[in-house]
Amino acid sequence: MRTGRRGLGRLSVLVVALASLPFLGTEFMPKLDEGSMLIETRRLPSTSLPQGMAIAQDIERTLMQFPEVQRVVTKLGRPELATETMGLYAGDVYVTLKPRATWTASSPETLIVKMDSALKEIPGIDYNFTAPMAMRLDESISGVRTELGAKVYGDSLAVLQQKAAEIRDLIATVPGAADVSVDVSAGAMQVELALDRAALARYGLNVADVRAAVQTGIGGSEATEVIDGRKRFPVVVRLADPYRGTPQAIGDMILTTPSKARVTLSQVADVRVVEGPERINHENGQRLMIVQSNVRGRDLGGFAADVQREVARRLTLPQGYFVMYGGQFENQQRAVRRLAIIVPLVLLLILGFVYASFGSARQALLVMLNVPFALVGGIAALWLRGLNLSLSASVGFIALFGAAVLNGVVLIAYINQLRDRGSSLEDAVRQGADVRLRPVLMTALVADVGFMPMALSTSAGSEIQRPLAIVVIGGLVTSTLLTLVVLPVLYEWLEQRWPRVTSSASPDSSSTE
């Protein structure tokens, strides 16, 4: 089996080389046409509810101008019962589309490009085009709502914001980048108290006294409890809105000193409004900031490779800071690592079964030549249809390998039977190819016809199954043709150089040869 392992290694190298050809893009899964769109919009966290509603109305009016749009609904914020709470600065715009037959746009990608150009006229928003189910799935798996997310890890929020802005500018220069934005983390307006410790000491106050007064007046304190049968409701008392709604009103809050004197909060602290972080994201105990990006007009794998190369070449990070990549690209990398184990294991199992059938490593490797024959057809079919190598297509290749090897086993086994019956090498090869022509063609034709509806379907979900069917159809076409033409020629050439030893040959067959 040493020869078999060496041949399997060469075959694996050939498979990887063909699958990584530059003209064939890669992606995790094909984009699913859900019949609707989800446009995630983000404004500054300090945006008020009336301002957010006005911007949402502008977005809805802009989108309703497209004849492909049937209905637009905007949802501002998310409740606590959702997957995550979001403020009123975030809005999810659900766009229901009309049937495809009524469209003026040629494809969903073309429609998204037109909508993107129209929404750029509305200032003050960042947006991301996705679909309802796709967004929920991506967000729950990787925490990134776009196809590619560059996660910057570090300690200082200021440094993270600076480096995230640099990465955003770098990604924007890569061909295919779309909806590039930094996850909103700053822009929330906060009231800050800068305590004057000398003034506190003069009045005999301390920091705890100020904190207790502010917490009671603004946050409220529980004064009593209302009892209604078995139910109990706490009663919280705090200052009325006119006395706590502005920095001026907060500064006029009264503090009581230990000597029973009354001073205002502004006498012992500087009350000011500052811009602070809306939230601080953490992952694995480290602070991070996410730069999000979608891909249009090219494959995700090639785009992510260009982004990684540009970031590694042009971005300088301080010590302790690093960048990792998530989104659908993270799922794709995980799938590639698993396929790197599954595909060689499948090829090894097939080789073992073929070797057990023939008892010859040479003939087993000869049958395994159907694998690259089928691989060429599958890749060519994807390229002709303009599809990328996805997880669905990879599963199709695994199914294709077994069907392709089966045709080779049928042909070689019959040629061996003819030779065992006394036929010469040339006659056995010619007769075997002639007799097994119909069974091999029927096997390939049945599989191709069975996968044809999947390859031609345009119904919901067809984007997922179409690459699998196209790979199997294209691979069986080339493997069948090469099995019937090339495999017999190679069999005859190998048997002429290394004749097969047969212990069951009869005297008649010896005299015939």
- One domain for residues 165 and 215: no
- In the listed set 277, 294, 313, which residue is the last one of a domain according to the structure? 277
> What distance in Å separates the CA atoms of residue 299 and residue 27, rounded to the nearest whole number?
6
pLDDT at 112 > cutoff 80: yes
pLDDT mean over 15-37: 66
pLDDT of residue 98: 87
- One domain for residues 319 and 464: no
Where are the extended beta strands (E) located within 98-207? 126-130, 148-154, 177-182, 186-195
Look at residue 140 and tell me if it is in a domain.
Answer: no
In this prediction, what percent of the chain has a pLDDT beyond 90? Answer: 2
The range of the structural domain enclosing residue 223 comes to 188-277
pLDDT mean over 31-47: 79
pLDDT at 498 > cutoff 50: yes
Look at residue 141 and tell me if it is in a domain.
Answer: no
CATH number of the structural domain spanning residue 123: 3.30.70.1430
pLDDT of residue 8: 42
- One domain for residues 151 and 290: yes
pLDDT at 170 > cutoff 80: yes
Q: By the 8 A CB rule, do 341 and 179 touch?
A: no
**Confidence at 146, pLDDT banded by 50, 70, 90:** confident
- One domain for residues 344 and 419: yes
CATH number of the structural domain spanning residue 313: 3.30.70.1320
- One domain for residues 101 and 206: no
Handedness of CA 310, 312, 317, 320 (dihedral sign): positive
pLDDT at 40 > cutoff 50: yes
CATH number of the structural domain spanning residue 19: 1.20.1640.10
**Confidence at 411, pLDDT banded by 50, 70, 90:** confident
pLDDT at 268 > cutoff 70: yes
- One domain for residues 45 and 115: yes
- In the listed set 277, 292, 313, which residue is the last one of a domain according to the structure? 277
pLDDT of residue 505: 39
Tens-digit pLDDT profile for residues 319-359: 889 998 887 777 788 888 888 888 888 888 888 888 888 88
Residue showing tokens 């030549």: 369
Look at residue 331 and tell me if it is in a domain.
Answer: no
pLDDT of residue 33: 74
Look at residue 136 and tell me if it is in a domain.
Answer: no
pLDDT at 140 > cutoff 70: no
- In the listed set 256, 277, 298, which residue is the last one of a domain according to the structure? 277
Look at residue 500 and tell me if it is in a domain.
Answer: yes
pLDDT of residue 78: 67
- One domain for residues 315 and 345: no
- One domain for residues 356 and 317: no
> What distance in Å separates the CA atoms of residue 163 and residue 159, rounded to the nearest whole number?
6
- The domain total for the chain is 4
pLDDT at 439 > cutoff 50: yes
Look at residue 135 and tell me if it is in a domain.
Answer: no
- One domain for residues 370 and 267: no
CATH number of the structural domain spanning residue 248: 3.30.2090.10
Tens-digit pLDDT profile for residues 202-220: 888 888 888 888 888 888 8
Tens-digit pLDDT profile for residues 444-476: 888 888 888 888 877 766 777 888 889 999 888
> What distance in Å separates the CA atoms of residue 205 and residue 192, rounded to the nearest whole number?
19
pLDDT at 369 > cutoff 60: yes
Question: How many C-beta atoms surround the C-beta of residue 342 within 10 A?
Answer: 14
pLDDT of residue 338: 87
pLDDT at 507 > cutoff 50: no
Look at residue 387 and tell me if it is in a domain.
Answer: yes
pLDDT at 184 > cutoff 70: no
pLDDT at 18 > cutoff 60: no
Q: By the 8 A CB rule, do 184 and 290 touch?
A: no
- One domain for residues 174 and 302: yes
**Confidence at 79, pLDDT banded by 50, 70, 90:** low
DSSP secondary structure letter of residue 388: -
Q: What's the whole-number average pLDDT of the chain?
A: 81
DSSP secondary structure letter of residue 279: -
DSSP secondary structure letter of residue 49: H
pLDDT mean over 11-27: 53
> What distance in Å separates the CA atoms of residue 257 and residue 213, rounded to the nearest whole number?
11
State the DSSP H helix or E strand holding residue 231, giving kind and residue range, or none if neither: strand 231-237
DSSP secondary structure letter of residue 157: H
Look at residue 99 and tell me if it is in a domain.
Answer: yes
Helical ranges in 315-390 per DSSP H: 328-358, 361-368, 370-385
pLDDT mean over 138-143: 67
pLDDT of residue 226: 92
- One domain for residues 293 and 377: no
pLDDT of residue 336: 83
- One domain for residues 320 and 366: no
